Structure 1
Amino acid sequence: MTRLSYQYVVLRCVPRPDREEFLNVGVVLYCQSTEFLDVAWRCDRDRLSSFAPSLDVDQVCAALDFVEGVCAGDSRGGTAATKPMGQRFGFLRAPKSTVLQPGPVHGGITAEPARALEHLVERLVG
């Protein structure tokens, strides 16, 4: 069985950065050796609205759709999607002062990056 190293970041919804409170909403996983870059996310509207009643949940979903576009290298990701895969992951893992923020970069080992992504989103997002 081939063991492949990967990196991932958890995407956090941070409605009010000044309070440093967040909910995990997605995971971006990058495996350089297999040229795998993908995101899996869940936008639980009821949970997000309970957490932050004034939050524009549609804005959060739009930001997650943008991340999907960057990962896929398609037009939803704008100019960031035109870059090489490693640069796209670097773009996505860089902190930004928006409602959607990446957590720290973590690493792991897997035989199947897509399965690792499914496992991480189930474990870390719910």
Structure 2
Amino acid sequence: IQKLNKKIVQIENENNQTKQLVESLKANYNDSEDNLRLAKQQLSILRKEKLDFTEQIKVLKAQLEDAQVQVEQAKSTVREEKKNMESVLEEERKAKERAETARLALESEMEKVMAKKSKFMC
């Protein structure tokens, strides 16, 4: 009977240990399920953020391309305006030279006329 009682106590201890192990495994399983659920939620959030960022990148690239086109157009316009201004400036310079030449010729003619007038008056 003592052997049987010892065996019963031993089996009950083993049973209690097994129950504790089962409870521990259940708790670990539940924790793992919770962690998995949280990880799936985080993955879903990260995927959404990735899509949002991808869309933002597309928008920013389009804006950058537009800005680059505008810069090139502005550069082209500035080059054209500079060319036109240089042309106008060159025309004005030539006109000024012609005016100066004409003035000098006119002065020379005036001096000749004045010289003739002086001779005539004398």
TM-score category, normalised to shorter length: under 0.3
Structure number with the bigger relative contact order (C-alpha 8 A, sep ≥ 6) is 1
TM, length-normalised to structure 1 = 0.17
Larger radius of gyration: 2
Q: Identify the structure with the greater helix proportion.
A: 2
Q: Identify the structure with the greater strand proportion.
A: 1
TM, length-normalised to structure 2 = 0.18
